[in-house]
Structure 1
Amino acid sequence: MDFLKNLGGAQENSQSSGNTVATEAGGRNTTTDMAGKGGEGGGGIMGKFNNMLGGGAAGEKKEDGLDKGVDWVQQHIMGEGPQNNESAAEEAKDEMISDMIRGEYKSASVTGMNFPIQDK
């Protein structure tokens, strides 16, 4: 999405807080959260596109218990911030992590049992 800002004549200045400040052609500064949460707020066409791909609040409703556990670890232990309105890419990453956990649980289990929380 940075290329869209650059097309409009914006210059970016990264800050240590994880936010990007873009100076638009008119001299105005706009701040964008760069924590990988594209589409937060659900506004505009990008927010609708993100929701169609499974991100945002709609994607959070489709998470199973293990996905919610992965979100909890990311938020509280790894300090990645709120996990309640993630982008579609972040949701896909979380699903890959939970699928890996399920696969390792089954292969490491002596009985070959599936993970006790069913995948949605």
Structure 2
Amino acid sequence: MDTFNKFTGQNKTQNANASSGQGSGGVGGLFNNAMGGGATGEKKEDPLDKGVDMFQQHVLKQGPQTNESAMEQAKDERISDAIRSGWKKATGSNFPVADK
């Protein structure tokens, strides 16, 4: 453990997350939350978006989806939009769950 880690009590993973903007703190965390990411953005997801998150977490084993970055949430939204579009083309009706 280097001097910085001894002083802050952080490990290398925590340092990497903080410097990459993946953590919830610091300037990166504030920017991420302002762009719709983080736990605040998760609260605004519709049930289909939450289903995409569950699939990613449990089937694809991508880890917890409870505090995603704004970019990850935008990707999930594109996936759910594609599902809605496919549903509409296949059935001729809107997807049963409304988009938020």
TM-score using structure 2 length: 0.81
**Structure 1 spans left out of the alignment, 5+ residues:** 1-23
Number of residue pairs the alignment of both structures matches: 91
Q: Which has the larger radius of gyration?
A: 1
- Offset at residue 53 of structure 1 (A): 0.6
- Offset at residue 80 of structure 1 (A): 0.1
* Structure with higher strand content: 1
Q: 1:68 to 1:85 in 2, by over 3 A?
A: same
Amino acid across the alignment from 1:39: Q
Matched, 1:39 2:39: no
* Structure with higher helix content: 2
Amino acid across the alignment from 2:30: K
Matched, 1:57 2:39: yes
TM-score using structure 1 length: 0.68
- The alignment yields a C-alpha RMSD, in angstroms, of 2.2
**Structure 2 spans left out of the alignment, 5+ residues:** 6-10
Q: Distance in 2 between matches of 1:57 and 1:48?
A: 12
Question: Corresponding residue for 1:8?
Answer: none
